[in-house]
Amino acid sequence: MIPEVAMKFQGKVATPMILEVEKGAIKKYADAVGDENGLFWDEEYGRNSRYGSIVAPPGFFGWPLKWKGTFVLMTELRNEFMKALAAEGYIRFLDAGIEYEFISPIRAGDTLTASLEIESVTGQETKAGTRIVCVNKTSYYNQFGALVAIARQTSFLSRT
Amino acid sequence: MARNLLYWEDVEVGSELPALAKTATTLMLVKWAAASADFNPLHFDLPFAESQGIGRPIVHGQLKRAWLVQLLTDWIGEEGWLKKFSCQFRGMDYPINMKSISEPAEDKVTHWCKGKVVNKSVENGEYLVECEIWVEDETGKPTTPGTATVVLPSRAG
């Protein structure tokens, strides 16, 4: 059994966030990954590509939405969820995996609106006890209102 | 930098993707923290990592995810499109330390990103290729398995 409070978060949607796709941030990202693809670095290369500009690598915004650059505060909703679970003793957090659907290119200069929903909250019995499995779905829309990507990230929360 | 052009017809089920070598260093993890705004001290603070029972700082799962994305985008070239992607963080991976401001303490590959073609199909006019992908550590143990579907250009036009 998982705490009732956890279930209350299922289906909740966070306040949408506006994300500017900055050229410099794309370059820093590619540098950190060690990805030398000209599409992420080189303006001229990007201009001459099918995209006509530097693009963001798939998954550039990762998951969930980072918030003010502080440690896993993410959206206020996620923060609330984590706090509620911590109060029940679920203090250990594990990033278990991610799933993406990429629909359209994201170009440097785009402005995305990202909407995060706590899609599901379930319990799972393991040798170490019950763990909470939380799936966060983030949908990204561009400045034209088109859905460009969907991310589903799975977290495990456990007591030990 | 010359980019490859990969056609759907030239991909065979069962074939392997060109492997991508990575050297995970503490420097790379710090860069990733800044680039992704993931400042969990688990990835750079030794006493904190010890207190969490994992021994020492570990590679960010999301960085391994980004490596796998690179494995695919390098392979398909810019005419290809990564349509679906997933990976699971099943095992911990560790970075090597630095001996200078730019050089790792050891000159070696710490991780390999690999993949294999498992299916080809044509759906709604899209020429699709499905792959199994994974990151493996130095011992050959896969720590980060996943799947991907890419759309490739076809010679059929």
Q: What percent of chain A has pLDDT over 70?
A: 92
Instruction: Spell out which residues of chain B touch residue A94, defining contact as CB-CB under 8 Å.
Output: 89
User: B29: how many CB neighbours lie within 10 A of its CB?
Assistant: 21
Q: Is the pLDDT of residue B3 over 80?
A: no
Domain ranges, residue A140? 4-21+56-158
Q: Which of A64, A25, A110, A66 is nearest to B35 (CA)?
A: A25
Q: What percent of chain A has pLDDT over 90?
A: 65
Among all chains, which residue has been given the structure tokens 């099918």?
A: A50
Instruction: Spell out which residues of chain B touch residue A33, defining contact as CB-CB under 8 Å.
Output: 32, 35, 63, 66-67, 70
Q: Does A49 reside within a domain?
A: no
Q: What is the mean pLDDT of chain B?
A: 94
| pLDDT in the model for residue A69 | 45
CA gap A125, A105 in Å, rounded: 40
Q: Is the pLDDT of residue B24 over 70?
A: yes
- Options 3.10.129.10, 3.40.630.30, 3.40.190.10, 1.20.210.10; CATH of B8-151: 3.10.129.10
Q: What are phi and psi of A132, to 5 degrees?
A: -100, 130
Instruction: Spell out which residues of chain A touch residue B74, defining contact as CB-CB under 8 Å.
Output: 37
AA letter at A105: P
A97 and B32 within 8 Å at the Cβ level: the answer is no
B83 and A50 within 8 Å at the Cβ level: the answer is no
| pTM score | 0.93
Q: What is the mean pLDDT of chain A?
A: 88
Q: What are phi and psi of A68, to 5 degrees?
A: 55, 25
Instruction: Spell out which residues of chain B touch residue A23, defining contact as CB-CB under 8 Å.
Output: none
| pLDDT in the model for residue B15 | 98
Least confident span in A15-19, A132-136, B103-107 = A15-19
From the CA of B147, how many Å to the nearest CA of chain A?
A: 9
User: A80: how many CB neighbours lie within 10 A of its CB?
Assistant: 14
Q: Is the pLDDT of residue A2 over 90?
A: no
Q: Is the pLDDT of residue B51 over 50?
A: yes
Task: List the single residue in A33, A49, A97 with the smallest CB-CB distance to B89.
Answer: A97
| pLDDT in the model for residue A74 | 57
Whether residue B35 lies within 8 A of chain A, CB to CB, comes out as yes
3-state secondary structure A65-103: CCCCCCCCCCCHHHHHHHHHHHHCCCCEEEEEEEEEEEC
Name residues whose C-beta falls within 8 Å of residue A44's C-beta, 6 or more positions apart in sequence.
none
Number of domains in chain A: 1
Whether residue A66 lies within 8 A of chain B, CB to CB, comes out as yes
Among all chains, which residue has been given the structure tokens 């143990």?
A: B141
CA gap B87, B67 in Å, rounded: 11
Q: Does A34 reside within a domain?
A: no
Domains in chain B: boundaries: 8-151
| pLDDT in the model for residue B96 | 96
Report, as an integer, the average pLDDT of A77-100: 89
| pLDDT in the model for residue A77 | 84
Judged by CB atoms within 8 Å, which residues 86-115 of B form the interface with A? 86-89
Helix ranges (H only) for B61-109 are 61-76
A102 and B37 within 8 Å at the Cβ level: the answer is no
